[in-house]
Amino acid sequence: MLIKLWNEDEEDGGLVIARLIKRGDVPRGLRRKISLESGDEALIIAPSNEDGRPMTGPDDLKTKEALRGRSQILLYNRREVSEFEFPFNDHLPPGEMDPISGSLRLGVRILDERPALIKERLLPSLSGNKVTYLDAQEHIRVRLESRWEQLLQGSNASNRRDPERRKEAWGRARDVAREAIEPLGLFAADAELVWADTGVEESLKDPREVSRRQREKLAEMRKEERNKRRLSDSIERMEYELEREKARMENLRAMAEIYGLEI
């Protein structure tokens, strides 16, 4: 994943899932070129082509050239799957006496067919030019809020743990989630229903417990990306020093030619 896309500021939502680059608002590390790694994608969105023209990594994109003619660049990773968890508590299926509780775990990535929907549908509701993990989580939560009846259809207290029914229940939850979040430019790659026992059910009722687990997950992801960023910064410094040394040698050769000397 593009190291420069990650944000280490926890208060700003942590992990960045997508970033929009505009002329006059280009992060310092991306002003000359954008180095796309395997799986990374830069969608160049022009006024005449709102669906955009994708450029996939590994490759280098010249930033200034890509931003000509009021174009914008949407950066994301097509392969990266972010894991989200959404608790449900005391859901009472139609015709049942016993409520069910648990959580829906979703693996979410950028929608293949129209990633430009991130710019059209998600970014306008946010304050900046990036979609963080927590931004995506909140928008997905809102989209699922009115669909719990559909997500849990057919599941009840007596059959929820039935191995024979698990594939059907998970498949249904995945399909409902896909339909819910695709208008945002997101795709539910997989889904899992985790049923609560008594102890877990009590913890799910406390939003602080859910928030704690999410923070731990983000902290681990940020730690890994900080290490990658340090390595990338070291490589950039080495490349800069090599370029300076190369330029110095070229100057020396030019001076030598002028004075008829050999180096």
Residues 103-115 have pLDDT tens digits of 999 999 999 888 8
Give the closest residue to 55 by CA, choosing from 79, 39, 31: 39
pLDDT of residue 147: 93
pLDDT of residue 109: 92
- 6, HSE (Cβ side, Cα atoms, 13 Å): 19
Give the closest residue to 60 by CA, choosing from 145, 17, 2: 2
Neighbours of 251 (CB within 10 A): 10
Q: Is 237 helix (H, G, I), strand (E, B) or coil?
A: helix
Across-strand partners of 36? 59
Length of the chain: 263
Mean of the per-residue pLDDT values of the chain:
81
Residue 213 CA to residue 220 CA, distance in Å, equals 11
Which backbone phi and psi does 213 adopt, to 5 degrees? -65, -40
Domains of the chain from N-terminus onward: 3-235 (3.30.479.30)
pLDDT of residue 84: 93
20-34, 124-138, 174-188: least confidently modelled range: 20-34
Neighbours of 56 (CB within 10 A): 13
Residue 22 CA to residue 96 CA, distance in Å, equals 53
- 94, 76 Cβ separation under 8 angstroms: no
What's the predicted TM-score (pTM) here?
0.69
Q: Decide which of 123 and 189 is more confident.
A: 189
Q: Is 131 helix (H, G, I), strand (E, B) or coil?
A: strand
Confidence band (pLDDT; 50, 70, 90) for 4?
Answer: very low
pLDDT of residue 121: 86
